[in-house]
C-alpha cells in the first residue's frame, strides 16, 4: 500500500 | 491512475479553460471572485513546493499548468481587465480562512516539517477557497451561464476525487485521511450550487437563486 506522504495526487 | 482520478483532473483542467474563455470572450471578470482565485494561486504554490520531485511527466506538467494558469488569472483580473472587477461584491473575509487553515495545518499534519505543513495548509485551504465565490453568488443572486459551467466543472472535479479515493482504498489500500476529510467538506460546499445548476441551467434557464 502507498504511503499518504508521497502525495502523488494533484 | 484510474478512471475517476483522470476524469477529475481533466474536469479541473476544463474548469480553468472555461474560466479563461469566460474572461476572454466577455472581456470581463464580472461575477468572478478575485479572492477565490487568489486563494487557488496560494493553494497551488504552497502545495507544489515539491515541483522538482519526480513522480511522472503527467504530474509535473499538471503542476506547472495549475501554478501558471492560476497566476495568469490573477494577472487578467488585477491588471488586464481590472476595470471590470467590482470589489464591493467580493467582500468575504479571507484572512479568517487563511488563519484557520494555517492553524489547522500546524496541529493536524502527517509530519511537522516546513514542506509538509504547507502541503497540509494547501489541502485545507483548497477545501474552503470556493467560499468567497459562493458568497458573491449568493449576494448577487444570479450568474452568467458560463460562470456556472466553470463552477460545475470545479465541483465535479472534487466529486470525482471522492470516487477515486473509494477506488484507491479498495484496490491499493491507499489511506489519506487529511485529504479525505478536506475533500468531503469541499464537495459538500457545492451541494446547494449543484442543486440549482441541475434545476435551472441544465433546463435552459438562467442561474438565479430562489
What pLDDT, on a 0 to 100 scale, did the predictor assign at position A2?
47
What pLDDT, on a 0 to 100 scale, did the predictor assign at position A1?
43
What pLDDT, on a 0 to 100 scale, did the predictor assign at position B76?
98
Using CB atoms, pick whichever of B55, B110, B164 lies closest to residue A4.
B110
Q: B142 has which bridge partners?
A: B208
Give residue-wise pLDDT tens across range B135-166: 999 999 999 999 999 999 999 999 999 999 99
Query: What is the average pLDDT across B71-92?
Result: 96
What pLDDT, on a 0 to 100 scale, did the predictor assign at position B210?
83
Q: How many CB pairs under 8 A join A and B?
A: 32
* Residues on chain B touching A9 (C-beta within 8 angstroms): 5, 161, 164, 176, 179
Question: Could you tell me if B172 lies within 8 Å of chain A, comparing CB atoms?
Answer: yes
**Does A1 sit within 8 Å of B174, measured CB to CB?**
yes
B43: closest chain A residue by CA: A10
Tell me which long-range contacts B62-69 makes (C-beta under 8 A, separation of at least 24).
Answer: B62/A10, B62/B9, B62/B13, B63/A10, B65/B13, B66/A10, B66/B12, B66/B16, B67/B41, B69/B16, B69/B20
Give residue-wise pLDDT tens across range B96-130: 999 999 999 999 999 999 999 999 999 999 999 99
How far apart CA B149 and CA B19 sit, in angstroms, is 9
A7 to chain B, closest Cα gap in Å = 9
Q: Which pLDDT band, with edges at 50, 70 and 90, does B16 fall under?
A: very high
Give residue-wise pLDDT tens across range B17-57: 999 999 999 999 999 999 999 999 999 999 999 999 999 99
**Does A8 sit within 8 Å of B55, measured CB to CB?**
yes
Backbone angles phi, psi at B30, to 5 degrees: -65, 140
Amino acid at each position: 500500500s502507498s504511503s499518504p506522504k508521497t502525495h502523488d495526487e494533484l | 491512475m484510474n478512471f475517476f482520478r483522470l476524469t477529475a483532473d481533466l474536469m479541473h483542467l476544463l474548469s480553468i479553460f472555461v474560466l479563461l474563455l469566460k474572461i476572454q470572450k466577455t472581456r470581463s471578470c464580472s461575477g468572478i471572485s478575485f479572492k477565490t482565485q487568489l486563494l487557488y494561486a496560494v493553494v497551488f504554490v504552497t502545495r507544489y513546493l515539491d515541483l522538482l520531485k519526480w513522480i511522472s511527466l503527467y504530474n509535473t506538467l499538471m503542476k506547472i499548468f495549475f501554478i501558471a494558469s492560476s497566476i495568469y488569472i490573477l494577472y487578467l483580473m488585477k491588471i488586464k481587465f481590472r476595470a471590470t472587477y467590482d470589489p464591493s461584491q467580493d467582500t468575504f473575509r479571507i484572512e479568517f480562512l487563511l488563519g484557520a487553515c494555517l492553524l489547522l495545518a500546524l496541529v493536524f499534519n502527517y509530519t511537522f516539517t516546513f514542506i509538509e505543513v504547507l502541503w497540509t495548509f494547501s489541502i485545507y485551504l483548497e477545501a474552503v477557497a470556493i467560499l468567497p465565490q459562493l458568497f458573491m453568488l449568493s449576494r448577487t443572486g444570479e450568474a452568467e451561464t458560463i460562470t456556472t459551467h466553470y463552477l460545475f466543472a470545479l465541483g465535479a472535479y472534487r466529486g470525482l476525487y471522492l470516487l477515486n479515493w473509494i477506488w484507491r482504498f479498495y484496490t491499493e489500500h491507499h489511506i489519506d485521511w487529511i485529504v479525505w476529510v478536506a475533500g468531503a467538506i469541499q464537495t459538500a460546499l457545492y451541494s446547494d450550487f449543484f442543486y440549482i445548476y441541475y434545476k435551472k441551467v441544465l433546463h435552459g434557464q438562467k442561474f438565479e437563486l430562489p
